[in-house]
Amino acid sequence: MKGLASVLLLPTLVVATSLLLGYGSGYPLQFLSAGLAVLLAWQLLQLWRLLRWLGNSDSAAATPNHRGAWSQVYAAIGQLRENRAGNDGDLRSALRAFRQSADALPDGVAVLNEHRQLVWLNRAAADLLGLDSARDRGQRITNLIRKPKFVKFIGQHEHPEPLVIRGRGKPRRQLSLQLVTYGDNQQILMVRDVTRERQVEKMRRDFVANVSHELRTPMTVITGYVDEMLTDRALIGEWGPQLDTIMAQAARMKAIVTDLLRLSRLESALEDAGYEAVALAKVLSSIRLEAIARYSEGTAISIEVSPDAALLGDYQELYSALSNLVDNAVKYTGETGAVRVRFEQQADGSAKLSVTDSGPGISAKHLPRLTERFYRVDKGRDRERGGTGLGLAIVKHVLQRHNAELVITSSPGEGSCFACVFPPERVTLLAAETRNAGAA
């Protein structure tokens, strides 16, 4: 009400005074129009002053002195300005607190926009990645870190596994990078120094490799002597079964040592496997013959692979991975079962090499742990069958080095399927002459 009264006060006064003077002088209309014109001019002047005041960026600029309705307009706008200044201050101090806490983090954090340009990074990220927050902001991250592995990592749609690269500067650090996508295709790049972890891991690997290596010579000596003792009829008469057991256990230990060494070599390899063309038909048929000779002559093993199918990789590694899968299938399926090895190319250029058996199958709770070293579904039964417990761990590492994946599907009583899925860049076809040379 107070506001309305102050708005109406001035026009009422002007109209009343104009009419009074107009009737007094005999020219009411002329006085009224002159009065209204003066009122309009005054209001326009006030409006212009208000606009000029609003245009003044200094929010603390003095509020013009006014009375009536205009003083209330100025007071309301002044209040709004003060509130906004307060909010800006709050925001600024919240932002400062956030930056300080982010800078105190031991791990690096960098924010990338949808064009993969650097928006912001904390102190640890700048230090670990060798970047300068002020200089590099706005640059594409792939221009700042040009390692091909990193460029490929950034280009991927999904990043389930972190990427490990060497950092810049001295000392050379091993960095683990993880990408999380959020909001409108923006990303957070998290950087962790894993140098120490990697060193401990390397020490563990070296220790296993050295122990395995050291055990080889004593094992060879023991088996050599037992071999010789087994040719002595008198000894066989008295110690025959014991010597056979020593021989079998020594052979088992030798197999474990060999697999441990193979695994540690695979783990320590830094680069991916090479790109040698490996003819599958030939490899699989010799694996088949070996598996039959080693485990079972009765198991039906079928191989479905076209004669020109080939993988690009390391011959020895692929041979050992595939023979582990076929050996397992034959070993656990037994005489009465069937094993099917099948190579299929998929529409997207990738390929699936699956080993399916009609064996006992594996319940779901074991599947995620099968590739762990020495993990066995049934410890007693599986050890008796003569495995080292390292076969699937070797398969997993070989496939990783070939950018491939192991997919296991199985359920008790329904057999198992171990499928290796190779990406398109690892799949090829053999030229006719290579094929014939391979078959010869």
Q: Which residue stretch of 110-118, 148-156, 296-304, 323-331 sits at the interface with ligand ADP (rule: CB under 6 A)?
A: 323-331
DSSP 237-265: HHHHHHHHHHHHHHHHHHHHHHHHHHHHH
Among 360, 399, 401, 420, binds ligand ADP (CB under 6 A): 360
Q: Are 165 and 175 in contact (CB under 8 A)?
A: yes
Query: What's the Cα-to-Cα distance from 241 to each of 167, 226, 245, 247, 378, rounded to whole Å?
Result: 59, 12, 6, 10, 27
Q: Which residue stretch of 42-50, 283-291, 321-329, 399-407 sits at the interface with ligand ADP (rule: CB under 6 A)?
A: 321-329
Q: In what order do the strands lie in the sheet with 174-182?
A: 118-121, 108-112, 186-193, 174-182, 163-166
Among 124, 284, 377, 398, binds ligand ADP (CB under 6 A): 377
Indicate the residue among 406 and 427 with the shorter CB distance to ligand ADP.
406
Among 389, 400, 429, 434, binds ligand ADP (CB under 6 A): 389
CB-closest chain residue to ligand ADP: 387
Cα dihedral 273→277→282→283 (10° resolution):
0
Distance (Å, rounded) from C-alpha 102 to C-alpha 136?
18
Residue 251 is a binding residue for ligand ADP (CB under 6 A)? no
Indicate the residue among 163 and 408 with the shorter CB distance to ligand ADP.
408
Distance (Å, rounded) from C-alpha 148 to C-alpha 158?
17
Long-range contact set of residues 386-392: C-beta below 8 Å, sequence gap at least 24 = 386/252, 386/331, 387/328, 387/331, 388/252, 388/255, 388/256, 388/259, 389/256, 390/256, 390/259, 390/260, 390/263, 391/259, 391/324, 391/327, 391/328, 392/324, 392/328
Least Å from the CB of residue 397 to ligand ADP? 12
Among 370, 399, 406, 430, binds ligand ADP (CB under 6 A): 370
Burial class (CB in 10 A: 0-12, 13-18, 19+), 149: middle
Least Å from the CB of residue 160 to ligand ADP? 23
Among 376, 400, 428, 429, binds ligand ADP (CB under 6 A): 376
Indicate the residue among 360 and 438 with the shorter CB distance to ligand ADP.
360
Least Å from the CB of residue 288 to ligand ADP? 15
Among 212, 264, 328, 354, binds ligand ADP (CB under 6 A): 328
Least Å from the CB of residue 404 to ligand ADP? 17
Q: Which residue stretch of 38-46, 60-68, 284-292, 387-395 sits at the interface with ligand ADP (rule: CB under 6 A)?
A: 387-395
- Write down how long the chain is: 440
Least Å from the CB of residue 355 to ligand ADP? 8
Residue 392 is a binding residue for ligand ADP (CB under 6 A)? yes
Task: State the helix-helix crossing angle for 315-333 and 391-401, rounded to 10 degrees.
Answer: 140
Tell me what percent of the chain is helix, strand and coil, each rounded to the nearest 5.
55, 20, 25
Scan residues 260-289 and list those touching ligand ADP (CB under 6 A): none
Q: Are 112 and 189 in contact (CB under 8 A)?
A: yes
DSSP state, residue 116? -
Residue 332 is a binding residue for ligand ADP (CB under 6 A)? yes
> Binders of ligand ADP: how many residues, by CB under 6 A?
21
Amino acid at site 343: F
Give the three-class secondary structure for 120: strand
Least Å from the CB of residue 289 to ligand ADP? 19
Amino acid at site 71: S
Q: Residue 70, Cβ neighbours under 10 Å: how many?
A: 20
Strand ranges, E, within 32-170: 108-112, 118-121, 163-166
Residue 391 is a binding residue for ligand ADP (CB under 6 A)? yes
Residue 359 is a binding residue for ligand ADP (CB under 6 A)? yes
Residue 337 is a binding residue for ligand ADP (CB under 6 A)? no
Is the Cα torsion angle 386, 388, 393, 395 positive or negative in sign? negative
Amino acid at site 237: G
Q: Which residue stretch of 19-27, 169-177, 292-300, 326-334 sits at the interface with ligand ADP (rule: CB under 6 A)?
A: 326-334
Q: Which residue stretch of 123-131, 186-194, 263-271, 369-377 sits at the interface with ligand ADP (rule: CB under 6 A)?
A: 369-377
Tokens 């198992």 belong to which residue?
A: 416
Indicate the residue among 150 and 295 with the shorter CB distance to ligand ADP.
295
Among 190, 291, 310, 329, binds ligand ADP (CB under 6 A): 329
Select from 382, 309, 380 the least CA-distant residue to 341: 309
Residue 382 is a binding residue for ligand ADP (CB under 6 A)? yes
Indicate the residue among 136 and 357 with the shorter CB distance to ligand ADP.
357
Indicate the residue among 108 and 415 with the shorter CB distance to ligand ADP.
415
Q: Which residue stretch of 157-165, 189-197, 311-319, 359-367 sits at the interface with ligand ADP (rule: CB under 6 A)?
A: 359-367
Q: Which residues bind ligand ADP (CB under 6 A)?
A: 324, 328-329, 332, 357, 359-360, 362, 370, 375-377, 382, 387-393, 416
